[in-house]
Amino acid sequence: MNATPHSHRLLLAAALALSAGSVQAAQTTGSQPIEKADPAAIQPDTDVPPPQPISDEVIGQEYDAYRQSVKGQKMYTVSYILLSDETEARQWIARLRSGASFEKAAREHSRHPLSAKEGGKLGTFATCRWARDTVQLLDTLKPGQIYAKPVKASAGWGIYRLDAVKALEPISYAQYKEQLLSATFKPECPWVPPVTVGVPREP
């Protein structure tokens, strides 16, 4: 069946109407331009309160906890030589106990680099910093004495000399408060006070 000129005009009018409707819909439903945020309109967060000074009462409680953490502790000053062979370690113990220089032997023969460059000196540490078996052997010595047997270590055999030992005396309350508030407090034993350090001082 052939279309008449009249039907052609009707079809064309319908197509134009549909096209116009699509354009209008696209214009009304399209994305709107996004407005840029005004930096001046952004308000700072005012809900976070400023840090509060630590009261003397709280510091006193923490000082009591610190004193309890070091109760009964000793401070051991120790020198050390690490050798790879047990027989060699035994030979060196005999020489050292007969008067050979511990410092010279440590510098020249120890396999523990940190203490070797200091002539064998490990430093001074509280009981809590040493292994339990090390504390037990140190407690058998008097200052200046060398332990009679080499001690097995992960990297060889160790020779221990006790240089000094004394009871650990806690620092004073004034020292504790000063160090706590200046964030310089370094406990002798692994212990961290629950209060936050470095807060503003009380006026």
Please write the tens of the pLDDT for every residue from 54-63: 788 888 988 9
Nearest of 193, 183, 184 to residue 67 by alpha carbon: 193
Rounded Cα gap, residues 145 and 142, in angstroms: 6
Is residue 24 pLDDT above 70, yes or no?
A: no
Please write the tens of the pLDDT for every residue from 65-96: 889 889 999 999 999 999 999 999 999 999 99
Residues whose CB is less than 8 angstroms from the CB of residue 20 and which lie 6 or more positions away in sequence, other chains included: none
**What residues form DSSP beta bridges with 80?**
160
Could you state, in order of their start, the residue ranges of all structural domains in the chain?
74-167
For residue 60 the two structure tokens come to: 């006193």
pTM here is 0.65
In the CATH hierarchy, which top-level class contains the domain 74-167? alpha beta
